[in-house]
Amino acid sequence: MLPGCYCRVMVTQIDPAVSSVGRAFALLSVFQSRDRELTAAELARRSGLPRSTAYRMAGELTGLGILEQTLDGRFRLGLKLFELGQLALYQRGLRESAACFLADLSNATRQAAHLAVMDNCEVVYLDIIRPSPPPRLRSRVGGRLPPTVTGVGKAILAFSPPEVVDEVIARGLPRLTTNSITDEARLRAELVKIRRTGLAFDHQEQAVGTSCCAAPIFGANHQVVGAVSVSGHTSSIRLDLVAAAVQSTAAGISRVQGAQT
């Protein structure tokens, strides 16, 4: 088992493709952030399930409140899912304890402040505080990104056990812009630097025109539990000026998370 990795692995493995529950979640996972509602036929096509199976399952999920059906028969994700998702967040408390820190950070820097954790070798944004007026940024609460192309991802990675880094590298280093790190050696060197300075930067590595500065959050026994960042348009953000604020915010959240300094 990976130390520092929260999830255990159950001994009995069940093929997600043939279990009812696995299929149900496969059906839910076909929804993309850009599409609003999907027809039953579209659900079947995307999930690869037979048409009648997808149809029946969608009906079942609708009865449970997991899906909703519009008056013209199309499906979208239901509020019951939202409720469960919020509960998942609430259970780990990180967002609640970080909320005011995040707001202060956004206020002080007049940029968007992000809170993220790592889940299954991906970065998940738990909260985003945007300054007003909000800039056009791609990031979305609940959204997932590869860790190697984000400041928060690299900040978490730098303080994760080596097995996690290996796993991330094994999955491949995606190139989202010409600045993305796609070379293992360069990534490892950068992680060393981040470990030394406690700061991670993203110079248009995820999207052209946006830069960011991130710092890790630690919990009990000095395990990294997440990261905060400030990001904005490359032309409007001075990374050197926000670095200290990011770092002190991360330290503050770490303290309330129970990290002994």
Partner DNA sequence: CCCAATGTCTCATTACACGGGACACCACCA
Partner DNA sequence: TGGTGGTGTCCCGTGTAATGAGACATTGGG
Longest dimension (CA), the chain: 58
What is the C-alpha to C-alpha distance for residues 192 and 165, in angstroms, rounded to an integer? Answer: 12
171 binds DNA (CB under 7 A): no
Closest to 159 in 3D by CA, of 102, 223, 214, 101: 223
What is the C-alpha to C-alpha distance for residues 253 and 236, in angstroms, rounded to an integer? Answer: 26
Cβ 193 to a copy of itself shortest distance, Å: 28
Q: Which of 129/251 has CB closer to a copy of itself?
A: 129
27 binds DNA (CB under 7 A): no
14 binds a copy of itself (CB under 8 A): yes
**Cα within 13 Å of Cα(177), Cβ side:** 14
Determine the size of the site formed for DNA (CB under 7 A): 24
Cβ 101 to a copy of itself shortest distance, Å: 11
Assigned token pair, 216 = 């890790």
At 15, the amino acid letter reads D
Assigned token pair, 130 = 């945007």
What is the C-alpha to C-alpha distance for residues 160 and 168, in angstroms, rounded to an integer? Answer: 11
82 binds a copy of itself (CB under 8 A): yes
Interface with DNA by CB under 7 A: which residues?
Answer: 10-12, 14, 18-21, 23, 39-42, 45, 49-53, 55-57, 73-74
User: Under the rule (CB under 8 A), what is the footprint of a copy of itself?
Assistant: 1, 6-8, 10, 12-14, 16, 19-22, 24-25, 28-29, 31, 33, 35-37, 56-57, 59-66, 68-71, 73, 76-93, 100, 103, 117, 119-120, 124, 126, 132, 134, 140-144
